[in-house]
Structure 1
Amino acid sequence: MRNKKFQGLSLLVVFFIVFMAGCSKPTQRPEEEALKDRIVVYASFYPMYDFAKNIGKDKIDLKLMIPPGVEVHDWEPTAKLMGNMEKADVFIYNGLGMEPWAEKLIASVQNDQWIVIEASQGVALLEAEEHEEEEHGDEEEGSHGDYDPHVWLNPMNALKQAENIKNAFVKADEANRDFYERNFKEFADKLKALDQKFQEELRDVKKKEMVVAHGAFGYLAHRYGLEQVAITGLSPQEEPSAAKLAEITKFAKERNLKYIFFETLTSPRLAEVLAQEVGAKTAVLNPIEGLTQEEMKAGKDYISVMEENLKTLKQALMQ
């Protein structure tokens, strides 16, 4: 009899524990709690993502809009993505026509609270090359317009963009101002060191001319005393005329150029044809518009890829 009473009491205790557990609220995992306190940041393409990551670190929930390995000029935002962005705290884009969909997206997203930052604001701009303006016109949809948008390829411009991003984070999350300011200073020091390295290593190269498949490197060339000659204009989809190809072929032969540069994520066909015509080799310069998933997993970032670009340039221009 005593055992039966004990068993009944035990069952009652178990039932009470199960009942109370069912009534209690589900506990969140530590990472879920941490995510809840982060500001939600959308960055249009890789450089904006990288700069934001360096400054925001674990205080932001950072999302890269254009997937790794996708050519920036070929991408358009989906309706689902635009819907998700209604919960964003910050949207970062480069501007200057690099994201031709950006203005439409900003107007369409129903979000009165978010902070929209055009990261190229305040950068000293270079005018677009004449041949692209002639072929496309300023008003044609998809054209980059009057100015070259590839500002991040000058590390000092990247520093200004990073500062703009930092200011947006401070505005969105004033409580963590010191955190963002400290991270920005660390990143700014790295960018200044990168700029110094470019200046020192490109100062005494034998050749100053760089023939590139896509006119993305104007800011880099301008910063370090080089001359960019582009097979196509600011858009890699552009097809050069026969006269343009003949002009560049003549230029490369006269200057005895040993390398023709092409870039990641686009076809090397034009660069290879031109290189064969002038008896040169080809080499890759990365405009860092979008790293592949493999590159990101390998730990590559803006700084390391720019250092790879420097190594390539130095090797090619010393010959």
Structure 2
Amino acid sequence: MKKFLKITGISLLTIGLAACSVTKESANEQTEQSSDPTIQVLASFYPMYDFTRNVVGNEGNVELLMPAGTDSHDYEPSAKDMAKIQEADAFVYNNENMEMWVPAIESTLKEGDVTIVKATEGMVLLSGDEEHDHDHEHDNEEGHSHELDPHVWLAPSLAIKQVASIRDQLSRAYPEKKAAFERNAAAYLEKLQSLDDSYQSAFKNAKQTHFVTQHAAFGYLALEYGLTQVPIAGLSPNEEPSAARIVELKHFVEDTGIKTIYFEENAKDSIAKTLATEAGVDLSVLNPLEGLTQEQMDRGEDYISIMEQNRDA
């Protein structure tokens, strides 16, 4: 809406002379005259995209910034991506512990009248080291480190809070669309509540409460549903465990009677496969939902369907 409205009713000469000087006031005036009230919303990675599109509905166009199958931990926006963000009316992201590049561009986006929506606004996050007490040698480690665990969306009970936060922040930014946002969100929150209820029921009397994962993405899920996550590596899927850690986990799996080790389809799974082979247990997929493949999206899979698969696994 923002960029479209800035062009409406302006001559080509005016565009050439004043493309960079349209004021917020003139944009607001043109908003009232526009026949296209939809907003353009960009969401950082898949869960934020799915949450946002279920809030916005027909009130706007919601696009996904990161390409399907992208490792969101290592993603850095290109110049083209930055242009897309600046062209949007609103940008929705999880938090700066996942999208670590957002703080560096936040002031630029605000100056460009881009509404910034942080989905974990006001939520208390787990420490980045809270889920794994083993030691890692970080001196030669590549990629990012996490001060806090960003994987909030993997607990349906907390996904509910994220959707409500997205709804409320967008409603404040676009009060004329508040009723529609609330209506859309209510329908989606009902589905998320059913998902949460199914998780509560599935794990209420679980005999085995420990589960071994490829990386420490499921700390919130474990905390919310009375489980204990035992990660092979840390918060990044690219983190490599030491040989001593593999031996330690092998003994742990044998001692606790764990029958399955969980790996991720879209990340390196060689370590998980090695551990499963050495411990003589099965392998199964546990999807962190950091990025669906294009094939999954084409099949119509979404946050709820993938989280149902995770529950059943």
Contact 1:44 1:65 (C-alpha < 8 Å) held by counterparts: yes
The equivalent residue for 1:79 is: 79
Residue 262 (1) aligns with residue 266 (2): no
| CA-CA distance at 1:222 after TM superposition | 1.0
Question: 1:79-98 deviations in whole A, cap 9, x for unaligned?
Answer: 12212322221111111411
Question: 1:59-105 deviations in whole A, cap 9, x for unaligned?
Answer: 11111110111111232111122123222211111114111211123
Partner Cα distance (1:126, 1:114) in 2:
29
Report % sequence identity: 41
Partner Cα distance (1:252, 1:205) in 2:
17
Gaps in structure 2 of 5+ consecutive residues: 1-33
Residue 52 (1) aligns with residue 49 (2): no
Residue 150 (1) aligns with residue 151 (2): yes
- TM-score (normalizing by structure 1): 0.81
Residue 166 (1) aligns with residue 196 (2): no
Contact 1:70 1:290 (C-alpha < 8 Å) held by counterparts: yes
Contact 1:45 1:65 (C-alpha < 8 Å) held by counterparts: yes
| CA-CA distance at 1:174 after TM superposition | 1.4
Question: 1:149-175 deviations in whole A, cap 9, x for unaligned?
Answer: 100111121111111111222123211
SS in 2 for 1:228: strand
Question: 1:142-196 deviations in whole A, cap 9, x for unaligned?
Answer: 2111x21100111121111111111222123211211101111111111111111
SS in 2 for 1:204: coil
After TM superposition, the structure 1 = structure 2 runs for residues 216-295 of structure 1, keeping only pairs within 5 Å, are 216-295=217-296
Larger radius of gyration: 1
- TM-score (normalizing by structure 2): 0.83
The equivalent residue for 2:39 is: 39
The equivalent residue for 1:100 is: 100
After TM superposition, the structure 1 = structure 2 runs for residues 106-145 of structure 1, keeping only pairs within 5 Å, are 106-109=106-109, 111-129=111-129, 130-131=132-133, 135-136=137-138, 142-145=144-147
Amino acid at match of 2:290: E
Amino acid at match of 1:119: A
Question: 1:225-273 deviations in whole A, cap 9, x for unaligned?
Answer: 1110000100011111111111111111111211000012102211110
Compute the RMSD of aligned alpha carbons: 2.1
Contact 1:39 1:173 (C-alpha < 8 Å) held by counterparts: no
Instruction: Could you list the structure 1 runs, at least 4 aligned residues long, displaced by more than 4 angstroms after superposition.
Output: 130-137
SS in 2 for 1:72: coil
Contact 1:35 1:61 (C-alpha < 8 Å) held by counterparts: no
Gaps in structure 1 of 5+ consecutive residues: 1-33, 313-319
Larger deviation, residues 40-49 vs 93-102: 93-102
Q: What is the total number of aligned residue pairs between the two structures?
A: 276
| CA-CA distance at 1:131 after TM superposition | 4.7
